[in-house]
Amino acid sequence: MPSHFHAVVWIDHREARVFHFNPTDIDRLVLHPHNPTRHIHHKANSIGSGHAPEDQQFFHEVTAAIADAKEVLITGPANAKTELVKHIQHHDPTLAKIIVGVETVDHPSDGDLVAHARKYFKAADRMRPQKN
For residue 80, give the amino acid letter: A
Q: Would residue 132 count as lying in a domain?
A: no
Q: Would residue 71 count as lying in a domain?
A: yes
> What's the pLDDT tens digit per position in 14-45?
999 999 998 889 999 999 998 765 544 545 55
Q: Would residue 114 count as lying in a domain?
A: yes
Domain residues for 112? 6-33+54-127
Q: Would residue 82 count as lying in a domain?
A: yes
Q: Would residue 38 count as lying in a domain?
A: no
> What's the pLDDT tens digit per position in 64-91?
999 999 999 999 999 999 999 999 999 9
- State which of 53-57, 104-108, 125-129 shows the largest mean pLDDT: 104-108
Of 77, 86, 63, residue with least CA distance to 12: 77
Question: Cα dihedral sign for 49, 50, 53, 59?
Answer: negative
CATH value at residue 87: 3.30.420.60
| Predicted local confidence at residue 72, as pLDDT | 97
Q: Would residue 69 count as lying in a domain?
A: yes
Total-model pTM: 0.83
Q: Would residue 76 count as lying in a domain?
A: yes
- What total number of domains does the chain contain? 1
Q: Would residue 92 count as lying in a domain?
A: yes
β-pairing verdict for 99-104 and 71-76:
parallel
pLDDT band per the 50, 70, 90 thresholds, residue 2: low
Cα(115)–Cα(7) distance, integer angstroms: 12
